[in-house]
Structure 1
Amino acid sequence: MLRALEIRDMLIIDRLELDFQPGLNVLTGETGAGKSILLDSMGFVLGWRGRAELVRSGADQGEVVAVFELPAGHAAHAVLEEAGLPGGDELILRRVNSRDGRKTAWVNDRRCSGEVLRGLSETLIELHGQHDDRGLLDPKGHRVLLDVFGAYPELQDATRAAWRGLSQARKELTQAEAALTEMRAEEDFLRHAVAELDKLDPQQGEEAELDSRRRQMQGAERIREDVARALQALSGEGAEGAMGDALRWLEGASEKAEGVLDGAIDALGRAFNELGDAVQGVETALDGLNFNPHELEQTEERLFAIRGLARKHGVAPDDLGGFAEGLRTRLAALDRGDADMAELQKALSQAESAYDKAAGALSAARREAAGRLDKAVAGELAPLKMERAVFTTEIADTDPGPDGRDAVAFTVATNPGAPSGPLAKIASGGELSRFLLALKVSLHQKQSGVTMIFDEIDRGVGGATADAVGRRLADLASGAQVLVVTHSPQVAALGAHHWRVEKRVEDNVTTSTVVPLDADERVDEIARMVAGDTITEEARGAARALLAAT
């Protein structure tokens, strides 16, 4: 609910503070007094597109502040949360327009964009009038309005879920077809590569082992001759034999040397043992250097084959095994491609059937709701002196989507047998206003929490018809908030709260202001609307009669 509106230095408004109430709020005043400026200012703070020049002459900037009450569950809370703005039970919108045209906006003292303001405005205010292209006259929103009236959210949810399933099935099939086409284009490569890799069967770490063994065998050819010579020098024919002879000679002489040779004999014995160990080690090494030349050739062939495949496929030698497994997987997918495609086609067919069923049920519900809406609008048109007019909710096929496959449009025919067409093109000004009111009354949901503004929606009607308009506005305002700009005394008399828009000229400066009216002032204002500039006692009597009849 709009609780307060403060305007400073906007067009011919110097400073204005208004406190609005629940129920039907009426604003009256002479033509040109500034009622449209009030709506322009409200549209400015809500981010609507309007006049380019709004700052009052002589002022540096214009400013509008609007304060709204937000009950729990109000749709504005979701907009605030998505925009990362502070919430609460009070919403304060403030927007400034500088002299150079720059516009700056705040929501609860936090800077925000005009886009956020417009998102909030859709949850806060509905403007209805002859030039309303944001609400009931916009065919893009007619399906949404019908769905709200019809109240079948479970069918809508089922259709959206079925559409998601259908979209996913189509995506999976498309991706599978593309992958299969790609694999079929490289089928020869896959089969050749897998056969080649399977035949070689490279193992993890094998390339390093082969390289080490190859280098070992290549080195053996160069050092074996030196090792053999060393063994010959150390063995029985060399140092080992000479040391053995020396040890025997010393041991034979030790009996007569009276212990002088004992130390030398012990040392020589130890050296003889160490020499034996050295000979054994050299023999072992020499045995290890023995290899089959054919083995070197085989090792090199396999090593070069592994490295060649790795270069061919652009992977490391140790990754050939994993690469081969990936190719096998793709080849297996290719081999079972037809079976997989059949399963995906089946899944798509099932998803299409599920969507057709859900969308069909939603279409049936919409057609039933359209009939109820047409009947409800017809019932509202009769008291508005448009009993011969025909309102029709047309439903046509359109491209399927998450909201079904129905295009919804509200059409009218002003007389039986006349061609029907869009509201804005067929109805005249006064007729359009009454059509909009009848439609709004039929569609109204009191729990929406939206403030409704009607801009001269009673234009072109009077008498009993104007009274019928006023009573329907009062019905809309029951448990809600409605603001109506009106020139009709019958409508004004039905208001729960009444303001008069006035234009004043002081020191050659024109300003517009809005003043709340008490009971006596209200009688005079309605009498002015009845009689014109000269208020007579008869006009006051008529005004009192109108007020008494509410």
Structure 2
Amino acid sequence: MRFQLDELDALALGEGELMELDQEQQRLGHADALIRLCQQSVAALYDGEEGTCNDQLGQIRHWLEEARDHDNALSEALDTVESARLQVEAAAEALRHYLDRLDLDPERLAQVEERLGQAYSLARKHRVRPEELAEHHQQLAREVDTLEHFDEHLEALAKAEEEAREHYMGQARKLSKARKTAATTLTRQIATQLKALGMKAARLETVVEDDSPGAEGLDLVEFRFSANPGQPLRPLAKVASGGELSRVSLAIQVICARNLTVPSLVFDEVDVGVGGGVAEIVGRLLRELGEHAQVLCITHQAQVASQGHQHWQVHKIQSKNTTRTRIQPLAPDARVEELARMLGGVEITDSTLAHAREMLEKGQEVA
């Protein structure tokens, strides 16, 4: 790498220099043609013996000045011709300055072509495009510097690592403290909700324990649960039944509803194992959640279904060879009939319908 860097150092190709060399090579290599063409252009524009653009425009200006004496409407055309004549003069002057700077310099042309040849040769050697050679040179210099001053770089990296670790630990400890405070509050609020949901003997604890450092901090956060008296607290995911998980989830969602970021929540028979007043409380909590997010709940409890903003009926249609599931939205009258069926079974009486209608009206009044 040092040998390669020495070669590039010797060339010392600057950023953007290759394009400048290409342009200079084109100019020096075609200097004869450039001089001839520019001299012809100057002669045709201004310095010719006769019939130059300047002469012709001067004659036209003279004619238009005479014609304008008879019709002032030609003033605009006259001004345009005069402007063109002035531009021709400016163009001729610019070409004269260009010719003054343009020299036939075979020695400089040889130098430029030699430098271009070296650049293209090194580009092929390093397997980069010629225009990338300067950037490659800088990158190689950085790599060589890192290797030659390895101890210094290692020390700097170790220092940066220690600073990052200290910063991480400081932020992680703040996070742990905030989590433990929040865990105490959340545990107390969940206990209140679980009692309202008919799980009076249930206990749930939010545990924040020290763990190894990671992207989410130093903590292992776990919900531990016991559904019955005398049973120890164990990880919620391992000991809770489906219905218990649903009700715990419902309790947590209700508590967190104000900061809810999930757009949709689905509860599958969250009311399993409850009935009567507890089922009505579950329905109220679900409706409260529905004010903050979209809530879908599968239920067999009329007390829960009556409090939904909308109601779909799900049932199977079976034929000899196929089974299909049909889902249809229910209008208010159909909702009353479905609630009556959920309350009374196969035979629906007038009193059952009246009870269902009253339940629906009461459920829709819940704020």
| TM-score class normalised by the smaller sequence | 0.5 to 0.7
The alignment status of 1:520 with 2:307, answered yes or no, reads no
TM-score, L = length of structure 2 = 0.55
Q: How far apart are residue 515 of structure 1 and its match?
A: 2.3
CA contact (8 A) 1:377 1:439 kept: yes
Is residue 187 of structure 2 the alignment partner of residue 405 of structure 1? Answer: no
Map 1:531-542 → 2, pairs under 5 A: 531-542=344-355
Q: Distance in 2 between matches of 1:338 and 1:436?
A: 55
1:548 shift after superposition: 2.8
Which residue identity is paired with 1:425? K
Deviation at 1:423, TM superposition (A): 2.0
**Aligned partner (choices 256, 261, 276) of residue 443 of structure 1:** 256
Among 389, 392, 395, the residue aligned to 2:205: 392
Residue 177 of structure 2 is matched in structure 1 by: 364
Alignment of 1:399-438 (within 5 A): 399-438=212-251
Q: Structure 1 residues 355, 511: closer, same or farther in 2, change over 3 A?
A: closer
Contact 1:502 1:513 in 2 (8 A): yes
Alpha carbons of 1:537 and 1:387: their partners in 2 closer, same or farther (altered >3 Å)?
A: same
1:468 counterpart = 2:291: no
Q: 1:367 to 1:416 in 2, by over 3 A?
A: farther
Q: Which secondary structure does the structure 1 equivalent of 2:328 belong to?
A: strand
Which residue identity lines up with residue 363 of structure 1 in the other structure? Answer: S
Q: Deviations over 1:326-362 (max 9, x none)?
A: 99x979986x766665554444333222211111111
Q: Which residue of 2 aligns with 1:351?
A: 164
Residues 246 and 268, structure 2, Cα contact 8 Å, conserved in 1: no
What is the distance in 2 between the residues matched to 1:491 and 1:470? 4
Query: Are the aligned partners of 1:523 and 1:544 in contact in 2 as well (CA < 8 Å)?
Result: yes
Letter aligned with residue 543 of structure 1: A
SS in 1 for 2:201: coil
CA contact (8 A) 1:446 1:479 kept: no
Q: Which amino acid aligns with 1:409?
A: E
Alpha-carbon deviation of 1:494?
Answer: 0.3
Show the counterpart of 1:277.
Answer: none
Listed one character per residue, the Cα deviations across residues 140-161 of structure 1 (whole Å, up to 9, x for unaligned) are: xxxxxxxxxxxxxxxxxxxxxx
TM-aligned CA distance change 1:427 to 1:337, over 3 Å: closer
SS at match of 1:376: helix
Give 3-state SS (helix, strand or coil) of 1:501's partner: strand
Distance 1:487 1:351, change over 3 A: same
Over 3 Å counting, the alpha-carbon distance change for 1:446 and 1:332 in structure 2 is: closer
The alpha-carbon deviation at position 429 of structure 1 amounts to 3.9
**What TM-score comes out, normalization by structure 1 length?**
0.37
Equivalent residue of 1:466, what SS? helix
Q: From the superposition, tell whether residues 460 and 349 of structure 1 become closer, same or farther in structure 2 (CA, over 3 Å).
A: same
> 1:57-456 to 2 correspondence within 5 Å?
342-445=155-258, 448=261, 450-456=263-269
Aligned to 1:31: none
Check conservation: 1:452, 1:482, Cα contact below 8 A.
yes
Q: Distance in 1 between matches of 2:186 and 2:325?
A: 41
Structure 2 stretches lacking a partner, 5+ long? 4-9, 12-139
Question: Where do 5+ consecutive residues of structure 1 fail to align?
Answer: 1-189, 194-203, 206-325
1:187-245: CA deviations, max 9, x gaps? xxx9xx9xxxxxxxxxx79xxxxxxxxxxxxxxxxxxxxxxxxxxxxxxxxxxxxxxxx
> Is contact 2:202–2:226 with CA below 8 Å preserved after alignment?
yes
SS at match of 2:232: coil
- Give the secondary-structure state (helix, strand or coil) at the position aligned to 2:308: coil
Indicate the percent of aligned positions where both proteins have the same amino acid: 40
2:310 aligned partner: 497
Q: Select which of 475, 480, 490 maps to 2:293.
A: 480
1:529 has 2:327 as partner: no
Query: Are the structure 2 counterparts of residues 404 and 520 from structure 1 closer, same or farther at C-alpha, using a change threshold of 3 Å?
Result: same
SS at match of 1:355: helix
Residue identity in the other structure for 2:284: R
Q: Provide the rounded CA distance (Å) in 2 between the counterparts of 1:509 and 1:387.
A: 45
Whole-angstrom CA distance in 2 between matches of 1:351 and 1:403 = 15
Q: Is the 8 A contact 2:201 2:227 kept in 1?
A: yes
Shift of 1:464: 1.0
Shift of 1:477: 0.3
Give the Cα separation in 2 of the matches to 1:350 and 1:360.
16
- Asked if the contact 1:420–1:426 (Cα under 8 Å) also holds between the matched residues in 2, the reply is no
Amino acid paired to 1:538: S
Rounded to whole Å, the distance in 2 between the matches of 1:508 and 1:421 is 46
Q: Is the 8 A contact 1:524 1:540 kept in 2?
A: yes
Aligned partners of 2:259 and 2:181: how far apart in 1? 22
Q: Which has the larger radius of gyration?
A: 1
Query: 2:206–2:222: 8 Å Cα contact kept in structure 1?
Result: yes
Give the deviation of 1:493 after TM superposition: 0.5
> More strand by proportion, 1 or 2?
1
Higher mean alpha-carbon deviation, 431-440 vs 507-516, is at 507-516
Question: Which SS does the other structure have where 1:394 is aligned?
Answer: strand
CA distance 1:376–1:332, shift in 2 (3 Å):
closer
The answer to whether the 8 A contact 1:449-1:480 is kept is yes
User: Aligned partners of 1:447 and 1:394: how far apart in 2?
Assistant: 22
Alpha-carbon distance change, 498 to 353 in structure 1, aligned in 2, over 3 angstroms: same
- How far did residue 507 of structure 1 move? 8.3
Distance (Å, rounded) in 1 between the aligned partners of 2:251 and 2:323 = 38
